[in-house]
């Protein structure tokens, strides 16, 4: 494992590694030695991690983590990806909380990990974007996605991230709702079916069914295609 500095993208510092267990794990363990807004991009991860202890398996995709020394707004990474893809005319949506979908296919996952040592030390935003491994061209825009240059996409994501960091929570939520894949749809959560009727200012889902209205603030949801 040999980590090399490549160049700066805006105010981000891009480092490259050929093979590593996980870019998130590395930056979590080494945040002290790297500056704010370090991006570590890996050609290959041998132990890529997803949310809820899932594995993240990818090869030849866009796989990177960003180290921030300030607490991050959890809405921003998915929105940055959606906006970046939009600049290449690829229209994607966000499945709560922060998966990015083309049609009904997940193309990107985000793992945000905060490091605390009594107080907040760092936030690692890990992003994986599948640029090659699901050859299902029935999905609109998938072919376009596969022709994207990794580093061009990364540059756009950094640019969009910085723009979004300047917005207040209300504007972020408005955007998040605009690009939501789940708003107005039926979902399954902990064995019950609900309709998603709103997303509140904290980014929590407001859902309803015959038992009433409730708020979902964590966990996994499944989108239901039909009410069966």
Q: Which residues pair with 127 in a beta bridge?
A: 64, 110
The rounded distance, in Å, linking the Cα atoms of 220 and 97 is 8
> Can you list the alpha helix ranges (DSSP code H) found in the chain?
23-30, 76-87, 142-146, 150-165, 169-178
Task: Check: CB of residue 84 under 8 Å from CB of residue 161.
Answer: no
From candidates 13, 28, 37, 63, binder to ligand BTN by CB under 6 A: 63
* Contact call for residue 38 and ligand BTN (CB under 6 A): no
* Contact call for residue 128 and ligand BTN (CB under 6 A): yes
**What's the closest the beta carbon of residue 181 comes to ligand BTN, in angstroms?**
14
Number of C-beta neighbours around residue 1 at 10 A: 10
**What's the closest the beta carbon of residue 65 comes to ligand BTN, in angstroms?**
5
Q: How many residues bind ligand BTN (CB under 6 A)?
A: 20
Q: By C-beta, is 151 or 195 nearer to ligand BTN?
A: 151
Q: What is the dihedral of CA 72, 179, 111, 7, to 10 degrees?
A: -70
* Contact call for residue 160 and ligand BTN (CB under 6 A): no
Q: By C-beta, is 125 or 199 nearer to ligand BTN?
A: 125
Q: How many helices (H) and strands (E) does the chain have?
A: 5, 13
* Contact call for residue 49 and ligand BTN (CB under 6 A): yes
* Contact call for residue 56 and ligand BTN (CB under 6 A): yes
Distance of CA 216 to the CA centre of its chain: 19
* Contact call for residue 55 and ligand BTN (CB under 6 A): no
Give residues in contact with ligand BTN (CB under 6 A): 22-24, 45, 48-51, 54, 56, 63-65, 99, 109-111, 126-128
């Amino acid at each position: 494992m040999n980590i090399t500095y490549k160049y700066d993208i805006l105010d981000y510092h891009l480092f490259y590694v050929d093979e590593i267990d996980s870019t998130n794990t590395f930056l979590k363990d080494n945040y002290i030695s790297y500056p704010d807004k370090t991006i570590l991009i890996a050609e290959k991860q041998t132990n890529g991690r997803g949310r809820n202890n899932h594995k993240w398996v990818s090869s030849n995709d866009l796989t990177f983590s960003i180290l921030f020394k300030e607490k991050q707004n959890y809405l921003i990474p998915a929105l940055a990806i959606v906006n970046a893809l939009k600049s290449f005319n690829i229209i994607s949506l966000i499945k709560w909380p922060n998966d990015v979908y083309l049609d009904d296919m997940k193309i990107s996952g985000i793992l945000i990990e905060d490091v605390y040592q009594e107080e907040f030390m760092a936030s690692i935003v890990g992003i994986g974007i599948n640029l090659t491994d699901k050859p299902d061209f029935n999905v609109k825009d998938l072919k376009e996605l596969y022709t994207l240059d990794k580093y061009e996409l990364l540059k756009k994501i950094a640019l969009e991230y910085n723009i979004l960091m300047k917005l207040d929570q209300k504007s972020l939520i408005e955007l998040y709702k605009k690009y939501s894949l789940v708003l107005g749809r039926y979902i399954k959560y902990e064995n019950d079916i609900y309709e998603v009727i709103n997303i509140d200012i904290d980014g929590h889902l407001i859902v309803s069914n015959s038992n009433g209205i409730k708020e979902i603030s964590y966990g996994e949801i499944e989108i239901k295609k039909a009410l069966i």
